[in-house]
Amino acid sequence: MYKKTMSYLLVFSFLVLVCTSCQSQSKQMDSVIEKINKITAMEQKFFKAGEQIQELEIQELECYEKIYSFKVNEIDKRQSTAKKAIRLLNERKEMINEESKLIHKIDIKIEELQTINIETKDDEFRKDVNGFILTWKKRTNKYDQLNKKYQEAIKIDLTIYNLLSQKKVELKNVKNKTKNTNVVYKDVIKLNDQLNLYTQKLNDQRKDIYEKFGK
C-alpha cells in the first residue's frame, strides 16, 4: 500500500511539474508575442512619419515646377515660391529626423525582444522570432544608409532653392546642382526599394509567427 501510494505521489508530482513547465513556457511565448505587438504598434508611427514626408515631397515638387512656369520678369513670384519650397524642405528635414528617432526607439524594443526570446524553449518559435529580429536589424541598417543619402539630397535641394530665391539667378549653377541632385535621388530610390523588400519580409515573418503561434 505504501509503495503504491508513493508511486501515485511520484506520478502526480511529475504531472504537476510538466503542467507547471507548460504553463511557464506558454507565458514565455505570450510575453514574446506581446512584445512583437508593441513593436508593431510603434512601427505604425514610423510609417505615418514616412507618409507625411511623402506629402511634403509632393508639395515641394509642385513649388519647384511652378518656379519654372514663371516668366523671366515674374521675379517676385519666383522668389516667394522658392522661399515656400525652403520652408517645406525644412519641415521635411524635421520629419525625417523624427522618423529616424522612431525607428531607433523600436531598435531598443527589438533588443528587449531578443533578450526575452533567449529563454524560449520551443525551438521553432525561438528560431522564427530570431529570424524576425535579424531581418529587422538588416532593415534598420538599410534605413540608415537611405537616411544618409537622403540627407545628402536635401542639402543639394536647399542649395537649389536658395539660388532660385535670389533676385538674379545663374541658370548654369541651377542646372549643375539639379544634375547632382538627380544622381543622388537615383541612389535614394534604389535604397528605398531595398528597404521596402525588408519591410515586406518583416511583414511576412510576423504574419507567419501569428498564424503558427497566435497573437
pTM of the model as a whole:
0.85
Lowest mean pLDDT among 2-11, 46-55, 141-150: 2-11
The answer as to CATH 1.20.120.570 being correct for domain 29-213 is yes
Q: What is the pLDDT of residue 24?
A: 66
Q: What is the pLDDT of residue 9?
A: 45
User: Is the separation of the CB atoms in 132 and 202 below 8 Å?
Assistant: yes
d(CA 79, CA 84): 9
Please say if the pLDDT value at position 121 is more than 90: no
How confident is the model over 161-215, as pLDDT tens digits? 999 999 998 878 888 888 888 999 999 999 999 999 999 999 999 999 999 887 6
Closest CA to 79 of 92, 61, 90, 66: 66
Could you tell me the three cell numbers for 65?
515646377
How do the domains of the chain map onto residue ranges? Answer: 29-213
Could you tell me the three cell numbers for 118?
533567449
Q: What is the pLDDT of residue 175?
A: 85
